[in-house]
Structure 1
Amino acid sequence: MQPTGEQFDLVAGPTRAVVTEVGAGLRALDVDGRARVETFDADATPPMGAGGVLVPWPNRIAGAAYTWRGQEYRLEATEAARGNAIHGLLRRRPWRVVDRAGDSVRLAADVDAASGWPGPLHVETTYAASPTGLAVTHALTNTGEGDVPAGVGTHPYLRVGDVPPGDCTLTVAADRVVDTDERMIPVAVRPVAPDEDLRGGRRVGDLALDTCFGAAPGPDGVLGVLTAPDGGATTLWADAAFGWVMVFTPDDLAGRGRAVAVEPMTCPADAANSGTDLRVLAPGETWTVSWGIEGS
């Protein structure tokens, strides 16, 4: 078996996508013959979280511990160097197929109470290809008898075909920035300074970011755009639930050089401790959020 399990190919006109069984991740997306996300081989582990679904929390939980309704919970410190728990519980688990068509797939997995999370969650992620791109919907259902906290994030690295990301311009609809401590845990949220503002576009090669921003998309929901020098562009949109976005520009992604991740998140790092935009689901409640990528 591949490290990411079965591969699900989706086709809709000029759009081609590959979704993985393990982690329900996005391994590839082409629109009009141009790659729109960084891909990786089917026999490889996703590099630096590429394409991951981050549930029931995105980003980090400080010290891999938090308190919920007076009870302390401990998680595996999956970011060992900083002692944090990072990117949820489902990235390395097999998901099961609920529904499958030529242009879509719906996968499901469960977070159980024994995992270090307060209660059971049933999670379904649907990828649906269209002639212009890919829409992704996450539905989280509280299947327990008490309230359960939840957050959602994803980890796409954007591309515009074969153009090196460092040569592209990145625009992000964000008006606030999160200051963090040495563990990458938030300590303050403030307005972006002029040299941090990505709303006017910045060359990716000039950026060195592993930074959370407060999202401020317009009515079209566009959160981030990566534009190549030839005018081609890859656009990431998200619904209003995604009030935060992580921008990560590693110098080298699996030997391919500079990359840029634009990661929509419903809550910032350490929301399990701070409560910031942490969604609380009542027993039987379902929470649905959507985002997607378009190519032009």
Structure 2
Amino acid sequence: MGAGQPTGEQFEITNGTARAVLTEVGACLRVFEVAGVPYVSSFAETEAPPLSAGLVLAPWPNRVRDGRWSFYGEPQQLELSESRRNVAIHGLTRTIPWQVVERSTSAITLGVRIEAQAGWPVPMHTTARYALDADGGLTVTHTMLNAGDRKTPFGVGVHPYPCAGRAAAYECTLQLAARTNLPVDQDRLLPNGPVAPLDGGEFDFREPRKLDGMVLDHTYGGCVPDADGIIRHHLVGPDTGVEIWAEPDFGWVQVFSTTGFPGTSSAIAVEPMTCPTDALNSGIDLRELEPGQTWSGSWGLRPMS
């Protein structure tokens, strides 16, 4: 890895006017733009990803309460990677180098082995394939392989900060395909109640809602696919917009607003996830893999005219 580059080697892919840059460490989506217009909030290659921007979250997304969970009756203790909240956050692949599995001009597949370790007893292998199409869209396909000899649960999430061109998040409207919300406490951002239907209140984004003045760190579920089987969320600004789409396995989405993202007055993370916060304890929508079995799922970004 290059000195002064906490994300390691940078991998550029292009197709027509579409361009993306991925990183060696964390398989991070650092840049996605079409015709010079940005569709994710980016950062310099000499910086670590701010606020987990663009990272792959595996083998679980979001937080695990006290880093503790039970692997089919066996107590596990994960490293408390968010110590101020006493939780384990966003999996085990964010800060380690990934390897190039396959590469072309318009696509790249990065992969990494998740070793068995304290708090995670079964080795896994995960890949992320980033591919640009001729129409300017980006498709990201994830795989998870159980490389051990015991069945294991898992979840996958991603942490993009989509943007509508150069508009700040507060200038945009957001619409989600989500129909439910998992309430969390404001101190540790851990579940403090059952999944509930959205009720038309302030944080209901079933219809487009302006983000100006909103403070969000909310876990949404029940994402409903369109007739073609694809889930779609939309962030729309004054001049352009971006669609965040996902296959049905990504039935959850975390939405996080911030004024602390470098280079912009406000940014918004829209994070497709296969399971919600603390799913290793609740079991909600956890996937399971038998030894040697592989799961695959896709999501992506597409500019809106």
> Could you say whether these structures have the same fold, taking a TM-score greater than 0.5 normalized by the shorter chain as the test?
yes
**For the structure 1 residues 60 and 11, does the alpha-carbon distance in structure 2 shift closer, same or farther, using more than 3 Å as the test?**
same
Question: What SS does the aligned partner of 2:148 have?
Answer: coil
Superposition deviation, residue 252 in structure 1: 2.4
* Residue matched to 1:135: 139
Work out the CA distance in 2 between the residues paired with 1:209 and 1:219: 29
- Structure 2: distance between partners of 1:258 and 1:180: 23
TM-score by length of 2: 0.94
Q: Which residue of 2 aligns with 1:285?
A: 293
What is the one-letter code of the residue matched to 1:295?
A: P
Secondary structure class of the residue paired with 2:138: strand
- 2:225: which partner in 1? 217
Is this contact kept in 2: 1:142–1:281, CA < 8 A? Answer: yes
For 2:75 and 2:262, how far apart are their aligned partners in 1? Answer: 37
Which amino acid letter does the alignment assign opposite residue 159 of structure 2? H
Q: Which amino acid aligns with 2:166?
A: D
CA distance in 2, matches of 1:256, 1:284: 44
Query: Matches of 1:193 and 1:118 in 2, distance apart?
Result: 40
The residue aligned with 1:263 is 271
Indicate the residue corresponding to 2:174 in structure 1. Answer: 170
Change (3 A) 1:10 1:281: same
Alignment match, 1:190? 196
8 Å CA contact retained: 1:222, 1:235: no
Contact 1:205 1:258 in 2 (8 A): no
What CA distance in whole angstroms lies between the structure 2 residues aligned with 1:141 and 1:283?
A: 8
Cα distance in 2 for partners of 1:79, 1:129 equals 34
**For the residues of structure 2 that align with 1:11 and 1:255, how far apart are their CA atoms?**
24
Distance 1:42 1:210 in 2: 26
* Residue in structure 2 matching 1:204, options 186, 201, 211: 211
CA contact (8 A) 2:58 2:155 kept: yes
**Equivalents in 1 of 2:279, 2:254: separation in Å?**
14
Judge conservation of contact 2:177–2:232 (CA < 8 Å) in 1.
yes
Question: Is the Cα–Cα contact under 8 Å of residues 110 and 123 in structure 1 kept in the other structure?
Answer: yes
User: How big is the alpha-carbon RMSD for the aligned residues of Structure 1 and Structure 2?
Assistant: 1.2
In 2, Cα distance between the equivalents of 1:115 and 1:126?
28
Task: Find 2:38's aligned residue among 27, 35, 39.
Answer: 35
Residue 180 of structure 1 aligns with an amino acid whose one-letter code is V
Alignment deviations for residues 42-71 of structure 1 (CA, whole Å, 9 cap, x no partner) = 000000010010000000000011111111
- Per the alignment, residue 112 of structure 1 pairs with 115
Q: How is 1:1-296 mapped onto 2 (pairs within 5 angstroms)?
A: 1=2, 2-131=5-134, 132-181=136-185, 182-186=187-191, 187-195=193-201, 196-214=203-221, 215-220=223-228, 221-230=230-239, 232-254=240-262, 256-296=264-304
Partners of 1:28 and 1:254 in 2: CA distance: 14
How far 1:175 moved relative to its partner?
A: 0.8
Q: SS in structure 2 opposite 1:260?
A: strand
SS in 2 for 1:273: helix
SS of the residue corresponding to residue 183 of structure 2 reads strand
8 A Cα contact 2:168 2:264, kept in partner: no
1:115 Cα deviation after fit: 4.4
- Structure 1: unaligned runs, 5 residues or longer: none
Alpha-carbon contact 2:160-2:271 (below 8 Å) kept: yes
What is the Cα deviation at residue 251 of structure 1? 2.3
Q: State the identity as a percent.
A: 43
In the TM superposition, what is the alpha-carbon distance from 1:33 to its structure 2 partner? Answer: 2.4
CA offsets, 1:120-179, max 9 Å, x none? 101111001113211000011111111011100000001121122210111111110111
Paired residue type of 1:225: H
> Unaligned stretches of 5+ in structure 2?
none
User: Matched residue pairs, number?
Assistant: 295
The alpha carbon displacement at 1:249 in A equals 0.7
AA matched with 2:217: D
Contact 1:204 1:260 in 2 (8 A): no
